[in-house]
Amino acid sequence: MRSLLVKDLLILRRSRLLVGLLVVYPVAIALLIGLAISRSPQRPRVAIVDETPPGETVRVGTQQVEVSRYAKQVFSQVDPVSVATRREALEKVTSAEVLAAVVIPPDLVAKVGSGTSQGELEVIFNGDALEQSLVDSQLRSALAQANLGFSEQIQAATAQAIDSLVRGGSGGLPGASESLIGLERIPAVLGRVIARTPPGADREALSRVADFASFAAQNLVLSKRVLGTVGQPIKIHSTLLHGRRTPLNTFAVVVALTISLMFVAVLLAAGGLAAEREEHTLNRLVRGLVSRETLLLEKGLLGAGCSLVVGLAMLAGVGAFVSLDWSRAALWLAAAAAAALAFGALGVAIGALAREVRAASLLAFVLSLPLALLALVPSGAVGRGVYDVIGAISFAFPFKAALQGLDAAVNRSSPSLGVSLAHLALLTIVFGALARVGLRRSQTA
Amino acid sequence: MSAALRVEALSKRYGRLQALSDVSFEAAPGELIAVIGPNGAGKTTLLSIIAGVQAPSSGTVSRAAREVGWVPQQSALYAKLSVAENLELFARLEGLADPPAAVAEMLAQAGLVERAGDPVGRLSGGNRQRVNVAIGLIADPPVLALDEASAALDAAQRNRLWEFVAARAAAGTAVIFSSHYGAEAQRHADRLLILSAGRLVYDGTPAELLERHPGPAGHDLEQAMLALLAGLEAPASAVA
């Protein structure tokens, strides 16, 4: 087998175009898919016209809220281009220098501060429907967050005023005396006065005032809690059933690595075996010089070994940009090796069926790419029945198991690495056996 | 002298098709045996069973596959490797004690010393076939099976190939070759095996066949074989 491996590596070294394609193509595809998964759309360029006086604040209760703080939050979702006038902004939109313009009117602060009318931003769009939709949704999302922040400030000021009413003191409220009595202290004060007041209409009136003060204090405390709920009626509480949450960028690295392993291993193993038939050397080899099992093992190892080299080189390169837990490198290597062997076995099964290299390569591409895409379909994206079919297909081929194994090794996600390694080992045996049968059938045909 | 190869009651069936029926013969060391017959007669099947490429349905071949050098019709070589690298790979796979020495010897015998470093993909059809034969002979097997090895070659290339093969036969290798060319069999074979529909219908020398089926002046082996085959069909037609 060593002589055959050396021969194949020598042939590979002399096929520079093939090697170049085998390395560049899967890495390019892997990185593109990884980028698509990990990166959000680019921030659109938007012209900003701020017509409000600089440093203007809105007073909410005792708080001075800076308008510019929320403006910054709104524009963090876009790539802002500051312009002085509305006319200048229109010119930039018309010339397509920016996708949209946002005009902050000079009366924004007055309207927000009035508490009776809403402030309004003017948005001027350009470009096609897709671009408009992108700008619109990003601005709306940012505005919703800014509004939420603003409303939290208003709630805080209101809560402070309620505290003053209930507990007493000025609470910083303009015009209020520091010696103001709080509602919750009124019943006790009145109780002492009532005790000294003879029975009659005055005593009864004082008792009713004390009861009201007690009732008002209790309900204002409740209303303070209600304010918090109204401000954010629904909030997210995440529960992960098992495993560990995978950061999107490291998951993208795992996807990129799996795709690289798959393409190189499947193409090389399939092409290598088909090449033996195309050059008519297959019969010469298996007539006693090499057993069919050894030949299949050699081609599978060739594909797996080369894919491992390409995949790990890519991982090392990507590792410069994405934070990876290098202390788990031994586990990545084990997962990557198991995945590469399973892909190599799939490759030899394809190579055993195909009679020539071109057919084997085409079959490998036609099979690999949809399998990778199917394995990435999230549950809920399609109907239950379709998802079950996708799940069955993904189970029968190595991509999903390889993805899960590498994800478990890199990110400690579930299912566990052991389960994935066992799955990959099973698939390696199954595809190896299919390749053996395919080789026998194609030779006798 | 003991036989270099003994084939006994060899049969091969592909589903309903009986490709070979009860074929038996022996080959002596140094003997050149031509296997001829019409298309589909079973020539390639017989040679591939002798070479161990496929197993017979029944019958036996006295030699193991590795004791028979095999030269397929289409050159079975790695185009990206040089002549010497192809020879060395198969020398190693054959488990020879000194592969470089075997390569050097084979390059000299095949007249390919000058082309040793050339990639096989750049060789002419004739030279490629000589490398193909050299690989079949690199382990110095007692028997060589050539399956229409000269089919794609021109007259000059065929001539050079046969010089090479004849030299090996002279050195004691039993050579069994199939051919489409009657003239080639007539010129190079010591003995003829004629197959028809998988059956061995003639086993003798070319001269005996010509004697048995005489014809006009210029009558050749091919015409004698056709006469033999026609004679075999005639009684069957009469019965039908």
Tens-place pLDDT, residues B205-229: 888 888 887 776 666 777 888 877 7
Say which of B64, B78, B85 has its CB closest to residue A288: B64
Dihedral sign for Cα atoms in the order A384, A386, A392, A393 = negative
Q: Which of the two residues, A243 and B171, has the higher pLDDT score?
A: B171
A285: chain B residues, CB-CB within 8 Å: 93
Find which of B17, B73, B89, B133 to mutate to test the A interface (most A CBs within 10 Å of its CB). B89
Beta bridge partners of B146: B71, B177
Q: What is the pLDDT of residue B237?
A: 44
ipTM > 0.85 for the complex: no
Q: What is the pLDDT of residue A55?
A: 73
The string of pLDDT tens digits covering residues A293-341 is 999 999 999 999 999 988 888 777 776 666 777 788 888 889 999 999 9
- Residue of chain A whose Cα is closest to the Cα of B136: A284
CB proximity A287 to B under 8 Å: yes
- Residue of chain B whose Cα is closest to the Cα of A286: B53
CB proximity A381 to B under 8 Å: no
Say which of A288, A443, A444 has its CB closest to residue B52: A288
Q: Which residues contact B207 (CB under 8 A, 6 or more apart)?
A: none
Q: What is the pLDDT of residue B238?
A: 41
Residue B240: pLDDT band (50, 70, 90) is very low
Say which of B54, B64, B72 has its CB closest to residue A284: B72
Find which of A281, A286, A298 to mutate to test the B interface (most B CBs within 10 Å of its CB). A281
User: Looking at the predicted structure, is the pLDDT value of residue A235 above 60?
Assistant: no
Q: What is the pLDDT of residue A445?
A: 43
Mean of per-residue pLDDT scores for chain A: 79
Averaged pLDDT for residues B86-114: 88
Q: What is the pLDDT of residue B84?
A: 92
Token pair for A52? 């409000």
A3: chain B residues, CB-CB within 8 Å: 89, 92-93
User: Looking at the predicted structure, is the pLDDT value of residue A10 above 80?
Assistant: yes
User: Looking at the predicted structure, is the pLDDT value of residue B79 above 60?
Assistant: yes
Averaged pLDDT for residues B97-102: 90
CB proximity A94 to B under 8 Å: no
Token pair for B205? 């020398």
Provide the 3-class DSSP secondary structure of residue A177. Answer: coil
In DSSP notation, B6-66 reads EEEEEEEEETTEEEEEEEEEEE-TT-EEEEE-STTSSHHHHHHHHTTSS--SEEEESS-GG
Calpha distance A122→B114 (Å, rounded): 84
CB proximity B81 to A under 8 Å: yes
The string of pLDDT tens digits covering residues A356-399 is 888 888 888 888 888 888 887 776 667 778 888 888 888 889 99
The string of pLDDT tens digits covering residues A73-114 is 667 767 788 888 888 888 888 887 887 888 888 887 777 666
Residues 10 through 39 of chain B touching chain A, CB cutoff 8 Å: 14
Q: What is the pLDDT of residue A237?
A: 55
Smallest CA–CA distance, residue A283 to chain B, in Å, is: 6
Averaged pLDDT for residues A250-267: 85
User: Looking at the predicted structure, is the pLDDT value of residue A422 above 60?
Assistant: yes
Averaged pLDDT for residues A401-423: 83
Q: What is the pLDDT of residue A126?
A: 67
Averaged pLDDT for residues B43-55: 88
User: Looking at the predicted structure, is the pLDDT value of residue B108 above 50?
Assistant: yes
Q: Which domains occur in chain B, in start order?
A: 5-77+142-239 (3.40.50.300)
Q: What is the pLDDT of residue B236?
A: 47
CB proximity A289 to B under 8 Å: yes
Q: What is the pLDDT of residue A30?
A: 66
Averaged pLDDT for residues B172-185: 85
Interface contact B65-A444, CB threshold 8 A: no
User: Looking at the predicted structure, is the pLDDT value of residue A342 above 90?
Assistant: yes
* Percent of chain B surpassing pLDDT 70: 94
CB proximity A440 to B under 8 Å: no
Smallest CA–CA distance, residue B80 to chain A, in Å, is: 6
Which range, of A160-174, A233-247, B22-36, B216-230, averages the lowest pLDDT? A233-247
Q: What is the pLDDT of residue A92?
A: 85
DSSP run (H or E) holding B195: strand B191-196
Q: What is the pLDDT of residue A223?
A: 79
User: Looking at the predicted structure, is the pLDDT value of residue B140 above 90?
Assistant: no
Span between the terminal Cα atoms of chain A, in Å: 26
